[in-house]
Amino acid sequence: MKINKLLAIIVFGTICGTAANAQQAQVIDKVVAVVGKNIILQSDIEEQYTQYRLQGGIKGSATSIRCEILEDLLFRKLMLNQAELDSITVTDEQVESEMDYRVRYFVSQLGSEEKLEQYYNKSMSEIKDELRTIIKDQKLIEEVQRGIVSGVSATPSDVREFYNSIPKDSIPMVSAQYEIAELVKKPPITLDEKLAVKDELYELRSRILKGERFSTIARIYSEDPGTAKKGGETGFQGRGGFVPEFEAAAFALKEGEVSEVVETEYGFHIIQLIERRGDYVNVRHVLRTLKVSPEALQTAYDQLDSIANLIRNDSITFDEAVRKFSDEDDKVNGGYLVNENTGSTLFAAEDLDQQVSVVVNKLQVGEVSDPVAMKTKNGKDAYRLLIIKKKTTAHKANLKDDYALIQQWTMQKKRQEAINKWIDDKSTKAYVNISEEYRDCDFQFDWNK
C-alpha cells in the first residue's frame, strides 16, 4: 500500500526542510487539508516533495507524488487525532531524550553544530524547537499504531494460507543463507593493568576537583568516541539507557557533582551530573578502556589454535569445545551468531559482518577456521574460531526452510490489513476536509466520504 512508503523519507529532511528549501524564495502558504483539529499545509507537502526528489525517489508525475505525500500526511494526522481522543500522552523527558539523540547524530554527520546551523539556515534553538514538535507527534503516532496492531498474530495455519496464496511464479527468491557459530577466547586483564587505569582516572578526577573543566578533560582524555568530542556529554537518558553500574552512579549524583571511579564492562569512568529531569539524566563522563596485552592476545591465539586442531582431529566436536572453552555468553546456545536484523540465526550473505564474510567464504560447511582477531561487544581485543553450521543456496522461498521468513511476511500483511481496516473506520468518523485542488487525487482510501 502507499501509506507509510513516503514516511521513509530522511527524518531530518522532513523536520527541518532542506538546505535547498531554505534558499528558495518564500511562497504564500495555505491549508490544503484538515483532520480533526490538525491541519496540513502546502509547505508540508512541498518540503517532503523536495526531499523525496533529492533522494532520487521520483517515480511518476509530480502531481501523483504530491497526492501520495498528502495521503501519508492524512494518515498521520488521523492518528494524531485518535491520540487526542484516547488521551495518549508522552513525557517531556521522552521528547528531550530523543531530540538530544537526534541532534547528536546530525552533528556527528555534519561535523559541528555550526555546520548543522549553516546547512539548514536555522539556529540550533530553531532546529530543536521543530524537532520537539515532530518527535512528540511521532511518539504519539507510534503509540496509536502499536495499539492498532497489538492483537495481530500469525498462526501456523495463517502462514500456510499466506504462502499458498502466492502465485507459484511469484514466490520470492531467498538469497544464500548461513548459520555460523563461534568459539571465543577473551584474554584476561591483569590486576596491575586495572590499577594503572584507575590511577589515571583518579588523577584526572583530582584535576577536575581542583578547578579544571570536566568537558576539557573529557575531550582530551576520554576514549569514548561517541561523547569525547562533545566534552563527554551523553545527552538525556532514562533508566535502562546506561549499563547498570554507570546508571547507579549517575542517578546518585547531585548536579555538578563528580563521581568516584566507576567500573563497567567498557572500562573505568568518572561521571559528572549536568542535569536531572525526573527519571532522565544528562551527564558527562570520561572513559578509560582496559587494554589487552600482546602477550595475553598471543596466549589466546595459541589456545584457540590447539582447540582447532583437536576439532579437526575429531578429538572433540565444535559444540563440545564451545561449551568447555568459550568465554562468550553465547556458549549457552552453541555459540551461534544471531542476526540483529531478524533475531534468527540465519544470515543472508549481505547481512554478514565483513570480517566474518571474508572468513566463511573460504570455509566448507563443518570446517573450522583458524583463530580470527575480533572486537568484543565492549570493544576489547579477542580471538575466535568460526564454523559454518549450515549453508543454503539461493532458492524460492518454501515453508520447510524459510518458515520464519514467511511468518514475518504473514505478520506484515496482517498488520497492514489491520491498519487499512482502522483507516477505513476512523476516516468516516473523524472530520476530514481536503481542498478542492486535491479532490481528484487517486487516493487509496476514500477521504472524501
pLDDT reading at 86 higher than 60: yes
What is the rounded CA–CA span in Å between residue 367 and residue 365?
A: 6
Specify which residues 177 forms β-bridges with. 348, 392
pLDDT value at residue 205: 96
* Residues 376-425: tens digit of each pLDDT: 887 889 999 999 999 988 899 999 988 988 999 999 999 999 999 999 99
Give yes or no for a contact between 223 and 289, defined as CB atoms under 8 angstroms apart: yes
- In which band, very low, low, confident or very high, does the pLDDT at 270 lie, cut at 50, 70 and 90? very high
pLDDT reading at 375 higher than 80: yes
pLDDT reading at 323 higher than 80: yes
Closest among 414, 397, 411 to 169, alpha carbons compared: 397
Q: Could you give the strand order of the β-sheet that contains 38-41, starting from the edge strand earlier in sequence?
A: 38-41, 31-35, 432-434
What is the rounded CA–CA span in Å between residue 428 and residue 448?
A: 9
Q: How far is CA 237 from CA 7, 209, 241, 422, in A?
A: 26, 25, 5, 34
Closest among 192, 376, 201, 213 to 287, alpha carbons compared: 201
pTM here?
Answer: 0.65
* Mean pLDDT, rounded, for 93-118: 82
Residue type, 14: T
pLDDT reading at 6 higher than 50: no
What is the rounded CA–CA span in Å between residue 246 and residue 254?
A: 15
Q: Going from the N-terminus, what domains does the chain have, and what CATH number goes with each?
A: 6-153+413-438 (1.10.4030.10), 174-189+293-396 (3.10.50.40), 195-281 (3.10.50.40)
DSSP 144-155: HHHHHHTT----
* Residues 130-156: tens digit of each pLDDT: 999 999 999 999 999 999 999 999 999
Give yes or no for a contact between 374 and 355, defined as CB atoms under 8 angstroms apart: yes
Helix, strand, coil percent values for the chain (each to nearest 5): 50, 15, 35
* Mean pLDDT, rounded, for 89-103: 86
* Residues 146-197: tens digit of each pLDDT: 999 999 999 999 999 999 999 999 999 988 889 999 999 999 888 888 999 9
DSSP 300-345: HHHHHHHHHHHHHTTSS-HHHHHHHH--SGGGGGTTB---TTTSSS
What is the rounded CA–CA span in Å between residue 275 and residue 253?
A: 10
Residues in CB range of 91: below 8 A, 6 or more apart: 278
Per the structure block, which three cell numbers stand in for 187?
584474554
Residues in CB range of 23: below 8 A, 6 or more apart: 121
pLDDT reading at 9 higher than 50: no
3-state secondary structure of 284: strand
Which of the given ranges, 46-50, 211-215, 230-234, has the highest pLDDT on average?
211-215
Give yes or no for a contact between 124 and 116, defined as CB atoms under 8 angstroms apart: yes
3-state secondary structure of 190: coil
